[in-house]
Structure 1
Amino acid sequence: MRQDDTDAFRHALRLARQRTGVRTVFGGAVADGALRLTEFTGTLTDSMRGLRVVPGRGLGGYVLRHHRPLAVDDYVPATTITHDYDSPVSREGIRSLVAAPVTVQGGVRGVLYAAAREAAPLGDRTTAALMDTARRLASEIAVRDEVARRVRLLETAAEAPAAQPPAPGLDALRDLHAELRGIAQQIEDTALRDRLRHACDRFLRTGIESGAAPGTPPEAAPHPDRPRLTPRELDVLSYVALGCTNAEAGRYLGLEPETVKAYLRSATRKLGVHGRHHAVAAARRHGLLP
């Protein structure tokens, strides 16, 4: 599991416990072709901690292989699964289990379980709630994957030597910059959000997107008396720079049009200009926008 995803799995377990009403929930991510159980809530022992589940073996292995949920009313005598992991499951006292895959782009990236210590069906409602939680987790992981991919692209571009092939067109870079700032606002992980914003700032400082002359190092093109805009003000300006209306910028950033207008008004005041287009031009002069 990526370190950045650990908090997502823990949040998913808290949500699963709340939505299913089942006290014992656990799960983990898939790595190197196998599931590793690392996150637990409501367990009484450490018997399953670190357990490696391979495809086709046990309940989790069934879910890994078939990409669909499965429930057993009584784990030990169940005939629908193999019994490679009976010992750790029995030491925990678990009888009834349901497992759901966390599927991202056609591949299982993790498995979530809900369990009870009584041999009784957990029911369709429990399975549906666990599946919905798994889908929410899958969506979060997909967003993080895309952000990580784009951050790597930005970092590679920022660190590329001068002899590299020509950079993409300025319009494309401006569009990418705005989109990344918009994605950053949707990320709950503070560290990942800050990393993405930092990558955007580094990309600007390379001079690739700035008005500096070709080949001019960033430090040779300073921006004296640069206004201090907040991340939200820069987010709004980046979409205004693409020609978006307040309503359009709000949809990208998850803000109301009036909130966008307030951020734009604040940014315009700090930049010492009047009007949205003058604000964009001033932000570019100061190296705040591509």
Structure 2
Amino acid sequence: MAVDPFSSVDPASSGSTDLRGALNRLRLVTGLPLAFAGLVEPGPGQLRISELHGNRTTSLSGLSVHSGNGLGGKAVALARPCCVTDYSSSRQISHEYDAAVAAEGIRSVLAVPIVVRRRVRGVLYGALRAPQPLGDRTVGAAMEAARDMEQALVVRDEARNLLAAARPPEDGSPGAWEEVREAHVALRALAPRIDDPELRQELLQVCGRLAGAATTDTPGPDAPAPPAGPRVALTPRELDVLSCVALGATNATTADRLGLRPETVKGYLRSAMRKLEAHTRLEAVVAARRAGLLP
């Protein structure tokens, strides 16, 4: 019976770490006293404020904003930045959330949507407690922070798709295991791009479970033998390189995929071969699979 190493993995988690990073950068660049953000929840365009920096009250924390309502809802509906100089008296927006905004003392507000593949996934806000215009520099910084968040969500989406595909095959066919190995390489290459340490660690744990599944399942006559003797300790980059080599990639292709120089790839490969007591690339791959390091 095939194991499922992914039952506890949730790559589509809230992204709070990414939001916090975006808000930190926004306040650092602009000097805004208050910045907050939230992601759109599943359903009919409902945004929930989940991260606040510089707030004095909890009036905005957990606030649900519906598409079209208030400034953030308008940004969601139009998929473009929106700004008001005096929130409570503005005729450009509806006023469902005036009480929460007033409790925080907010007057001038900017809302920038986070758009991924033409779909609004969240909103970043910057605010002042005085009715002063927010200049082009502030608007530009907020849009840059939103783009950073968009890239983070793209990476999360990619991780989710890879995790959905990277399951040990039930039929154990060689072709199916090649797909698993391809997903394993992609996951290892993706992990360093993820800022959220918890999600990054989850991806690496799944990579380890995939490698272990190749030795604990019984995918067929070509399956590697169970690990024997002491486990070889390869560094993360040595495993990255060896994973690419296992798919037949050249040093140049491996370097391009991992963002390394070909000479660096050669160094990691030599080190891995030495630890695995292998004389060729193929021997190194076989030894790594027998040790449960690669699927």
Which bin holds the TM-score, normalised by the shorter protein?
0.7 to 0.9
Q: Distance in 2 between matches of 1:85 and 1:279?
A: 62
Find the partner of 2:17 among 7, 29, 35.
7
In structure 2, stretches of 5+ residues that fail to align are 1-10
1:60 shift after superposition:
0.5
Instruction: Give 1:12 shift.
Output: 1.1
Cα distance per residue 1:3-53 (max 9 Å; x no partner): 451111111110111222312101111113311112111122222122111
**d(CA) in 2 for partners of 1:172 and 1:153?**
8
- 2:33 touches 2:127 (CA, 8 Å); kept in 1? yes
Q: Which runs of 4+ in 1 moved over 6 A?
A: 215-218
Query: Partner residue of 1:199?
Result: 206
Residues 12, 157 of structure 2: 8 Å contact kept: no
The one of 211, 220, 244 equivalent to 1:214 is: 220
Alpha-carbon separation, structure 2, partners of 1:116 and 1:44? 13
Output the amino acid matched with 1:12: A
Deviation at 1:203, TM superposition (A): 2.4
Would you say 1:104 and 2:108 are equivalent positions?
no
Matching residue of 1:132: 144
Corresponding residue for residue 270 of structure 2: 265
C-alpha separation between the residues in 2 aligned to 1:131 and 1:87?
Answer: 27
State how far apart, in whole Å, the 1-side matches of 2:57 and 2:190 are: 40
Q: Provide closer, same or farther for how the CA distance between residues 46 and 169 of structure 1 changes in structure 2, counting only shifts above 3 A.
A: closer
Aligned residues: 282
Identical residues among aligned pairs (%): 44
C-alpha distance in structure 1 between counterparts of 2:134 and 2:270, whole Å: 54
Corresponding position of 1:21:
31
Counterpart CA distance in 2 for 1:27 and 1:274 is: 54
1:180 equivalent to 2:187? Answer: yes
Larger RCO: Structure 1 or Structure 2 (Cα < 8 Å, ≥ 6 residues apart)? Answer: 2
Residues 96 and 122 in structure 1, CA contact (< 8 A), matched pair in contact too = yes
TM-score, L = length of structure 2: 0.85
2:216–2:226: 8 Å Cα contact kept in structure 1?
no
Q: Which residue of structure 2 aligns with residue 255 of structure 1?
A: 260
After TM superposition, give the deviation of residue 122 of structure 1 in Å: 0.6
Asked if 1:233 is matched to 2:238, the reply is: yes
Taking a change above 3 Å as real, the CA distance of residues 272 and 81 of structure 1, as seen in their structure-2 partners, is: same
Decide whether aligned partners of structure 1 residues 246 and 137 sit closer, same or farther in structure 2, where only a CA change above 3 A counts: same
Q: CA deviation at 1:170?
A: 4.2
CA RMSD of aligned residues (A): 2.7
Paired amino acid for 2:209: R
| 5+ residue gaps, structure 1 | none
The one-letter code matched in structure 1 to 2:200 is R
